[in-house]
Amino acid sequence: MNTVDIAAVISAAEPEMQVRIFRLLGKNSSAEVFSYLDSDTQETVINSITNVEVHNLVEDMFIDDAVDFLEEVPANVVTRVLAQTSRETREIINRFLSYPEDSAGSIMTVEMAAFQKETSVDNAIAELRKTANDKESIETIYITDSERHLVGVVTLRKLIVSPPDTLLEDIMVNEDQVISVATHDDREAVAQIVRKYDLLSVPVVDTENRLVGIITIDDIIDVIQEENTEDFEKMALLLPSEDDYLKTGVLKLTKNRIVWLLILMISATFTGQIITGFEDKLQMIAGLTACIPMLMDTGGNAGNQVSTLIIRGLALGTVRPRDYLRVLWKEIRVAVLCGIILSVVNFARMAAIRAITGSMTPTPVILVVCISMIFAVIIAKCIGCTLPIIAKLIGLDPALMAGPMITTIVDALTLLIYFGIASLFLQSGILVPA
Amino acid sequence: MNTVDIAAVISAAEPEMQVRIFRLLGKNSSAEVFSYLDSDTQETVINSITNVEVHNLVEDMFIDDAVDFLEEVPANVVTRVLAQTSRETREIINRFLSYPEDSAGSIMTVEMAAFQKETSVDNAIAELRKTANDKESIETIYITDSERHLVGVVTLRKLIVSPPDTLLEDIMVNEDQVISVATHDDREAVAQIVRKYDLLSVPVVDTENRLVGIITIDDIIDVIQEENTEDFEKMALLLPSEDDYLKTGVLKLTKNRIVWLLILMISATFTGQIITGFEDKLQMIAGLTACIPMLMDTGGNAGNQVSTLIIRGLALGTVRPRDYLRVLWKEIRVAVLCGIILSVVNFARMAAIRAITGSMTPTPVILVVCISMIFAVIIAKCIGCTLPIIAKLIGLDPALMAGPMITTIVDALTLLIYFGIASLFLQSGILVPA
pLDDT, position B397: 84
Is residue A311, in this structure, part of any structural domain at all?
Answer: yes
What ipTM did this prediction achieve? 0.78
Q: Which residues does chain A have within 8 Å of residue B124's beta carbon, measured at their own beta carbons? A: none
Cα-Cα-Cα-Cα dihedral sign, residues A105, A34, B179, B120: positive
For residue A364, is pLDDT > 80?
A: yes
Chain B interface disruption, residue of A160, A248, A324, most B CBs within 10 A: A160
Per DSSP, the three-state class of A142 is strand
Q: How far apart are CA A245 and CA A232, in angstroms?
A: 13
- Give the contacts of B18 (CB within 8 A, at least 6 positions apart): B10, B11, B41, B44, B45
In a domain, A350, yes or no: yes
Closest in B138, B290, B316 to A276, CB measured: B290
The pLDDT score that the predictor gives to residue B434 is 65
Name every residue whose Cβ is closer than 8 Å to that of residue A32 and which is 6 or more positions away in sequence. Answer: A3
**pLDDT band at A413; cut points 50, 70, 90:** very high
Residue ranges of chain B with pLDDT lower than 50?
none
* pLDDT for residue A382: 93
List the 49-68 stretch of A: residues with Cβ below 8 A of B. Answer: none
Q: Is the pTM of this model over 0.90?
A: no
Torsion B335-B338-B344-B346 (CA) sign: negative
Whether B221 and chain A come into contact, CB under 8 Å, resolves to yes
> Which is nearest to A342 in space by CA: A294, A383, A293?
A294
Q: Do B157 and A157 touch (CB under 8 A)?
A: no
Residue B92 belongs to a domain = yes
Q: What is the pLDDT of residue B143?
A: 92
- pLDDT recorded at residue A204: 92
- Please indicate, yes or no, whether residues B319 and B386 belong to a single structural domain of this protein: yes
Q: How much is the pLDDT for B376?
A: 93
With contacts defined as CB-CB under 8 Å, which chain A residues touch B311? 232
Check whether residue B81 and residue B112 sit in a common domain: no
Domain of residue A26, CATH code: 1.25.60.10
Distance CA B147, CA A297 (A): 61
A278 & A408 share domain? yes
Residue A167 falls inside a structural domain: yes
Lowest mean pLDDT among A225-229, A334-338, B326-330: A225-229
A3, A32 Cβ separation under 8 angstroms: yes
Round to whole Å and give the CA distance between A351 and A344. 11
pLDDT of residue A159: 85
Asked whether the beta carbons of residue B313 and residue A258 sit closer than 8 angstroms, the reply is no
The Cα B315–Cα A233 span in angstroms is 14
Mention every residue, 6+ apart, whose C-beta is less than 8 A from residue A120.
Answer: A164, A165, A166, A167, A168
Domain ranges, residue A401: 268-427
Q: Is residue A385 part of a domain?
A: yes
Which residue intervals of A324-433 are DSSP H helices? 324-357, 363-393, 403-427
- Do B162 and B114 reside in the same domain of the chain? yes
Using the Cβ of B351 and the Cβ atoms of chain A, whether some distance falls under 8 Å is answered with: no
Q: Which of residues 113-142 of A touch B (CB under 8 A)?
A: 125, 128-129, 132-133, 135, 138-139
Of A415, A413, A417, A407, the closest CA to residue A304 belongs to A407
Q: Is B434 inside a domain boundary? A: no
Between CA B131 and CA A32 the distance in angstroms is: 33
CB contact under 8 A, B319 and A245: yes
My answer on whether A66 and A118 are in the same domain is no
Per-residue pLDDT tens for A143-164?
999 888 999 999 888 888 888 8
Helix, strand or coil for residue A336?
Answer: helix
The alpha-carbon gap from B115 to the nearest alpha carbon of chain A, in Å, equals 17
Task: Kindly report the CATH number assigned to the domain that includes residue B322.
Answer: 1.10.357.20
Q: How many CA atoms lie within 13 A of B403 on its CB side?
A: 34
Q: How far apart are CA A143 and CA A172, in angstroms?
A: 8
What pLDDT is stored for residue B332 in this prediction?
Answer: 92
Q: Tell me, yes or no, if B164 comes closer than 8 A to chain A by beta carbon.
A: no
Q: Could you give the percent of chain A with pLDDT greater than 70?
A: 100
State the amino acid at position B267 in one-letter form: S
We report the CATH number of the domain holding residue B176 as 3.10.580.10
Substitution target from B123, B223, B289, B316 for chain A, most A beta carbons within 10 A = B289
Chain B touched by A200 (CB under 8 Å): yes
Percent of chain B with pLDDT over 90: 15
Residues A421 and A328 in one domain: yes
Same domain, B351 and B368: yes
Q: Region A208-226: what's the mean pLDDT?
A: 88
Q: Which long-range contacts (CB under 8 A, 24 or more apart) does A365-368 make?
A: A365/A285, A365/A286, A365/A287, A365/A288, A365/A291, A365/A431, A366/A287, A367/A425, A367/A430, A368/A288, A368/A418, A368/A421, A368/A422, A368/A425, A368/A431
Q: Nearest CA to CA, how far is B225 from chain A (Å)? A: 8
A272 and A365 belong to one structural domain: yes
The answer to whether A318 and A309 have CB atoms below 8 angstroms apart is no
Are the beta carbons of B221 and A222 separated by less than 8 Å? no
A404-417: average pLDDT: 88
**The last residue of a domain, from among B170, B194, B226:** B226
Determine the Cα–Cα distance for residues B232 and A233; give it in Å rounded to an integer.
11
In a domain, A422, yes or no: yes
CA quadruple B233, B235, B236, B240: dihedral positive or negative? positive
**Interchain contact, B302 vs A353, CB within 8 Å:** no
How many structural domains comprise chain B? 3
Task: Count CA within 13 A, CB hemisphere, residue A73.
Answer: 25
Contact B298 A232 (CB under 8 A): no
Q: Report chain A residues whose CB lies below 8 A from the CB of B407.
A: 297, 300-301, 407
> Tens of pLDDT along A287-305?
888 888 889 888 988 888 8
Alpha-carbon torsion (A331, A336, A337, A339), positive or negative: positive
Considering the domain architecture, whether residues B299 and B392 belong to the same structural domain is answered as yes
Q: Which of A227, A255, A282 marks a domain boundary?
A: A227
Which of A236, A292, A326 lies closest to B246 in CB terms?
Answer: A326
CB proximity A355 to B under 8 Å? no
Chain B residues in contact with A276 (beta carbon < 8 A): 287, 290, 359
Question: For a pLDDT cut of 90, what percent of chain A falls above it?
Answer: 14
pLDDT band at A53 (very low <50, low <70, confident <90, very high): confident
Mean pLDDT confidence for A328-348: 91
Do the Cβ atoms of B269 and A403 come within 8 Å?
A: no
Q: Nearest Cβ partner of A160 from B128, B266, B289?
A: B128
- Based on the domain organization, do B215 and B70 belong to the same domain? no
In angstroms, the CA B415 to CA B433 distance is: 19
Distance CA B128, CA B138 (A): 8
**pLDDT at residue A434, as a whole number:** 65
> In the prediction, which pLDDT does A69 show?
87
Q: By the CB < 8 Å criterion, does B254 face chain A? A: yes
Same domain, B50 and B33: yes
Cβ <8 Å between A250 and B323: no
Q: Is residue B256 part of a domain?
A: no
Using CA coordinates, name the residue in chain B closest to A353.
Answer: B269
Torsional class of B103: left (φ above 0), alpha (ψ -120 to 50), beta (otherwise): beta
Q: Which DSSP letter does residue A86 get?
A: -
A268: which residues sit within 8 A by CB, 6+ positions away? A408, A411, B293, B294, B297, B298
Cβ within 8 Å, pair A179-B261: no
- Boundary (domain end) residue, out of B168, B202, B226: B226
Residues B274 and B418 both lie in one domain: yes
Q: Is the dihedral of CA B396, B402, B408, B412 positive or negative?
A: positive
